[in-house]
Amino acid sequence: MNVALSQLLQPVSIDDTWRGVLDHVKEEYLSQAQRFPWIVGFSGGKDSTLVTHAIFEMLLEIAPSQRSRPIHIVSNDTLVESPMVMSHLNVVTKQIEEAAVSLGLPITVARTQPDPDKTFWVLLIGKGYPSPNMTMRWCTDRLKIQPTSGYIKGQVSASGAAIIVLGVRRDESQSRQRSIERRRNVRGENLSEHDRLPGAFIFRPIIDLSVDDVWEILGTSFAPWGGNHTALIQLYRDSEGGECPVVLSSDEAPGCGTSNSRFGCWTCTVVEKDKSLQGFVDAGMLYYQPLIEFRDWLKAIRNRTDMRQAFRRNGRLTFDANGKHIPGPFTIQARKEIFERLMAVQEGFDGALISESEIKQIRQIWADELQGAGSLADV
């Protein structure tokens, strides 16, 4: 075997792999599209953390005069996220924000949330939406897609276009790989159009990294905003790993609520079993057990006919193609029972599971529905 061929067959070191990512990020940041902001989808999981790490480190490598492109680190809070994940996310985003300010980096840290009238509890307990399942996953659009898409649209409107930077990789899942391959590159090999957000383009700087690459880089690097990634690694160990990815369209929704994405909403009834919370309980955090039991009960009552109204919210009776009746929302009585059980769980939990503003909205929805139907004294 000649020397040249031998060199080609040698495995690339992780240092060279990481250097390649940083150079790739730097090249795109300094490209002609500098006037368009970057919006980094930051879930707090391993992949989005690595992308943010690369961007932060890249900014420190270039001259201050070259840091002309604004960068938005955007996280989505569905308001029913796993409490441990949200705690980690809050700590890390605060560290990133403080470091960016002290170093004079053009980074804005932002958090999106669902509209007040579209939160999980307002829709489920207030309006009686049935617990989400694989065929009726109403939560993804209202809790994830709409809030983050709204933020992106605002940046597109202000700047004419925006670049969404995502920590997605080819080897994550078959559905994610199909989503990647469907999108057409519009400039070289770096950017592709987002098919649901006009003026938005997608940049995937770690698309070819393996999961082993990601963990090796995180495990051997200091976080450029201070400290290291030990807390993130421990979070995965405790929860049995996997985060619910940033979701920007219904095409990407299969990544939300599957066995491959376990850092999601603690209320998720799409998955058969909440492996994330169960992992925390198995690691000794027994105070999450009531949340698991509540979620399991919420999933179990979904199709109970005694807890569902016959008519849909639009007043119509609905039947499937085989003539089988499709029930409407949860009854007021069922919603009251869900609410009471949730409040009982919250009473024994260190933290709020539902906000006072949501409770107020829920009571108002009930009152509107029951107007003229009797006393609300027991609501």
* Poorest-pLDDT segment among 6-15, 178-187, 238-247, 340-349: 178-187
Bin 241: left if φ > 0, else alpha if -120 < ψ < 50, else beta.
left
Instruction: Give the pLDDT band (50/70/90) at residue 40.
Output: very high
What's the predicted TM-score (pTM) here? 0.86
Q: Give span(s): CATH 3.40.50.620, the chain.
A: 3-120+139-255
Report the CATH fold assignment for 3-120+139-255.
Rossmann fold (3.40.50)
β-strand 191-193 against 185-187: which pairing, if any? Answer: antiparallel
Q: Which amino acid is at 275?
A: K
Q: Which amino acid is at 110?
A: A
- For the chain, percent of residues with pLDDT exceeding 70: 84
- For the chain, percent of residues with pLDDT exceeding 90: 70
Q: How many whole angstroms separate alpha carbon 251 and alpha carbon 62?
A: 36
Q: Lay out the sheet containing 107-112: strands in order across.
A: 107-112, 71-76, 38-41, 162-165, 200-203, 191-193, 185-187
- The count of residues in the chain is 379
β-strand 200-203 against 162-165: which pairing, if any? Answer: parallel
Q: How many whole angstroms separate alpha carbon 68 and alpha carbon 17?
A: 26
**Residues 173, 260: contact at Cβ < 8 Å?**
yes
The pLDDT tens digits of the residues spanning 70-95 come to: 999 999 999 999 999 999 999 999 99
Predicted pLDDT of residue 333: 96
